[in-house]
Amino acid sequence: MRIRASAAAATGALALTALAAPAAQADAYRGDTKISNVVVNGGKPVVLGTTAKKTFTVAFTATDSSGVNMAKVMMWHGPFFGKMDYGILPNTAYASCTKVNAATVKCKQTFTVGPTYNLLNTYAGIWKLSASAQGKDFDYVLKDNVKSFRIQRNSTLTAAATPKPVKKGAIVTVKGRLSRANWDTRRYGGYGSQSVKLQFRKKGSTTYTTVKTIKADAGGNLKTTVKASVSGYYRYAFAGNTTTPAAWATGDYVTVK
């Protein structure tokens, strides 16, 4: 389920919790109810291509001295909760919680997201989680931002080295392209003006070393030259950023004669 900014501004807090709390865009609590140990997608960014949906889990702990009656989370995007531009409710109304002891439960809740389902390019990057829990004594906690995490547009990288074979001391040209998923068009497109490293792994070695850093052109295309010394593999490596994950091309082998 999705919440557009217009709806979220009016009903965000109420959509988040079944507690009889006001729909204010601020943390609220009563008593000793707490939420902690929040982990999204096993601690990894949520990375999406152009078509497939992805379901991931949010795990957290809730405590109250009287016992926990219910808990849930909601994910949102924007500068702050009261000015979110997009919100996504979980797949179930409440989290599934397992009792640890009289005061503590461990909870899990799942979300499904995807470019054909509820994401556009403008939503790539940092997302936040709101969370609420209620004790059996009706104490409660409501937090606008208990955890930040990333939803990223998948990236791909290629590398092709020529000529093959090459004489020692001659010039090797390495071409490639950095691309990433476009959630608006549901296709991959060139990711331009990004810094990318040319790396080399000598035959018999398991380690790549950086030869130089270049920038992709406006279309994501890469091209550079290097002097051949020994046989080995050339690849490009992209470090990634907030909206886009790191990517490594498959090494292309060149024999030096």
Domains identified in the chain, total number? 2
The region of weakest confidence among 21-30, 98-107, 161-170 is 21-30
Q: What is the mean pLDDT of residues 16-44?
A: 76
Q: What is the mean pLDDT of residues 83-94?
A: 94
Paired residues of 111 in beta bridges = 56
Same domain membership, residue 164 and residue 138: no
Q: What is the CATH number of the domain that holds 137?
A: 2.60.40.10
Same domain membership, residue 166 and residue 141: no
Same domain membership, residue 78 and residue 188: no
Q: What is the CATH number of the domain that holds 171?
A: 2.60.40.730
Q: What is the mean pLDDT of residues 20-38?
A: 77
**What amino acid is encoded at 224 in this protein?**
T
Distances (CA, A) of 182 to 45, 73, 188: 17, 28, 6
Distances (CA, A) of 53 to 50, 101, 114, 118: 9, 36, 4, 9
- Show the DSSP H helices in the chain as ranges: 5-16
pLDDT greater at residue 22 or residue 205: 205
| pLDDT single digits (tens) 117-156 | 889 999 999 999 999 999 999 999 999 999 999 999 999 9
Q: Which domain holds residue 172?
A: 155-254
Check residue 135 and give its pLDDT: 98
Same domain membership, residue 245 and residue 162: yes
Same domain membership, residue 144 and residue 22: yes
Same domain membership, residue 119 and residue 13: yes
Q: What is the mean pLDDT of residues 180-190?
A: 97
- pTM of this prediction? 0.87
| pLDDT single digits (tens) 40-75 | 999 999 999 999 999 999 999 999 999 999 999 999
Same domain membership, residue 216 and residue 142: no
Same domain membership, residue 172 and residue 129: no
Final residue in a domain of this structure, among 153, 169, 189: 153
DSSP assignment of 167-216: -TTSEEEEEEEEEEEETTTTEEEE--S-EEEEEEEETT----EEEEEEE-
